[in-house]
Amino acid sequence: MALDITRTSKLLVIYLLVSNLSTMVFMGFYIFFLQANGLSYLEMTIVFAANFLALALFDLPTGNLADKFGRKKSIVVGTFIFALGLLVYALTSSFLLFATAEIVLGIASALLSGSTEAWYVDELKSQGKASEAERVYGLATGAVSVIGVAGGLIGSVLAAYALNLPLLFGSIICFFAGVFALLTFRENYGDKHASYMTTVRRTLKYFKGSPALKLLTLADVLRFCAFIVYIFLYQPFLVDMGLPPSALGIVFAGLMVSTAIGSVLATRLMVRARKSSIVIASVVFLLAPLALLPFTENAWLAGALFMVCSFAHGLALPASMIWRNALVPSEIRASGLSVMSTFINAANAALSLAMGLVIASFGVEAAFLFGVVAGSISLPLYVLADRESRKVPNQMESPLPT
């Protein structure tokens, strides 16, 4: 990454690298870890749904609180709670406690979801550097994916001794990420003079009156459903094909390389292409391998198709981040992003349970097609969201509220 960036961007990149390493060390074994503890596919989707439901319930309130009382505070508290959730995960082996840990992680993620982006974008805006976000966020996403390679390899070594060791290690790393944010981030706010209920009403009114935000949120729900199918199934699918569980960390490292390539490419493309076009292209790259996987019997080919899914995810991340921030005003940025997250996670709680029922009734192959159908519906919605986005001013370029 070029060094001619603000201190704010450097702090964000460091925080993202450390905090994401805390999850990357166990993500390569996460689904297999649940299976090894006796959970069925349906129980695992219920665990997933518990996280999404907690996010849906707490996202809007925490976003409003972040705008009023400080986004740095929200980031720091959320990071510490996430570390606690990983610790609970590492020390349990029952379905109910896994669901409880996911609720804790969901609350933590709610504190982080709108606050981190809002803090970063408005810190840059206060310095007259808002355009830096496009370049840095894509490269940061790529750097996070590269650190995921290290996380996958570290996780492989730790998991060889015990499957819960990557989670314990992740908890410690996450704690240090919270300390870093506490000591280095500068506090910023939305409209801190407005009452909590005023912020809630203003946010919901803005969302209700923005066709672009509503269409983008609905499209993101369906795209993320397709992504969940990929992330939920790649581990058991490859293990069933004969891949040794100890090799999942190496596979995860390869997926992170693919995500990094997608993110770096997105950064280059954003210079000359609309963010919406990049997101739409990412959906196509995600759907093609999902459609082919039910008919794949070779583990190497399946691995290659999953890498295309990961590339698609990397391609979408920076472009979608810039797109949604361009639609939300600074004074309610954390709140507005949290509204989007609330609807997305509420829908995905239901869709996760639906996916579990599909697997239980029709098998894993049907779940891939479930993702293809959901993702396909998102495409015309993204086109409509782009059309509406062209009608409104770019909120990343508007002045900060006084």
Q: CATH number of the domain that 70 lies in?
A: 1.20.1250.20
The rounded percent of the chain whose pLDDT value lies above 90 is 38
**Banded pLDDT at 400 (limits 50, 70, 90):** low
Residue 79 or residue 335, greater confidence: 79
pLDDT of residue 3: 59
In angstroms, rounded to a whole number, what is the distance separating the alpha carbons of residues 63 and 261? 31
Please indicate, yes or no, if residue 396 is contained in any of the structural domains.
Answer: no
- The residue among 82 and 206 whose pLDDT is bigger is 82
Task: Determine the pLDDT at residue 393.
Answer: 84
Is 108 within 8 Å of 78 (Cβ atoms)?
yes
**Amino acid identity for residue 141 in this structure:** T
pLDDT at 396 over 60: yes
Please say if the pLDDT value at position 61 is more than 60: yes
Give the residue from 58, 149, 162 showing the smallest Cα distance to 108: 58
Q: Which long-range contacts (CB under 8 A, 24 or more apart) does 1-10 make?
A: 1/136, 1/139, 1/140, 1/143, 2/135, 5/132, 5/135, 5/136, 6/124, 6/127, 6/129, 6/132, 8/120, 8/123, 8/124, 8/127, 8/129, 9/120, 9/124, 9/132, 9/136, 9/140
Q: How confident is the model at residue 279 (pLDDT cuts 50, 70, 90)?
A: very high
**Structural domain range at position 328:** 7-186+198-389
Task: Give the single-character DSSP code of 393.
Answer: -
* Residue 118, CA distances (Å) to 60, 65, 111, 256, 396 in order: 14, 13, 12, 25, 10
Distance CA(162)–CA(90), nearest Å, equals: 10
Q: Is residue 394 part of a domain?
A: no
Domain-located, residue 137: yes
- Going by pLDDT thresholds of 50, 70 and 90, the confidence category of residue 2 is very low
Average the pLDDT over 149-161 and give the result: 84
Mean pLDDT calculated for residue range 163-188: 94
The per-residue pLDDT for 242 is 85
Dihedral, 99, 103, 105, 111 alpha carbons, nearest 10: 170
Tell how far CA 237 is from the center of its chain: 22
Report residue 87 as tokens. Answer: 């610790």
Band (pLDDT 50/70/90 cuts) for residue 201 is confident
Rounded to whole angstroms, the Cα distance separating 75 from 30 reads 24
Q: Say whether pLDDT at 40 is over 70.
A: yes
pLDDT level of residue 148 (50, 70, 90 thresholds):
confident
Q: Do the domain assignments include residue 375? A: yes
Position 129 scores a pLDDT of 86
- Residue 397's pLDDT band, with cuts at 50, 70 and 90, is low
319 Cβ contact partners less than 8 Å away, ≥ 6 residues apart: 138, 266, 269, 270, 275, 276, 278, 279, 282
Cα dihedral 21, 89, 225, 244 sign? positive
Residue 171 lies in a domain: yes
Q: Is residue 138 pLDDT above 80, yes or no?
A: no
Please report whether residue 400 resides in a domain: no
Residue 250: inside a domain, yes or no?
A: yes
Name the band, by pLDDT with cuts 50, 70 and 90, for residue 15: very high
- Specify the DSSP element, H or E, that contains 215: helix 211-240
267 within domain boundaries = yes
The answer to whether 167 and 86 are in contact (CB under 8 A) is yes
Q: Is the pLDDT of residue 1 over 50?
A: no
Domain count, the chain: 1
More confident residue, 275 or 202: 275
What's the average model confidence in pLDDT over 273-281? 93
Per mean pLDDT, which range of 232-241, 243-252, 291-300, 309-318 is the poorest?
243-252
Residue 392's pLDDT is: 84
Mean pLDDT of 352-375: 87
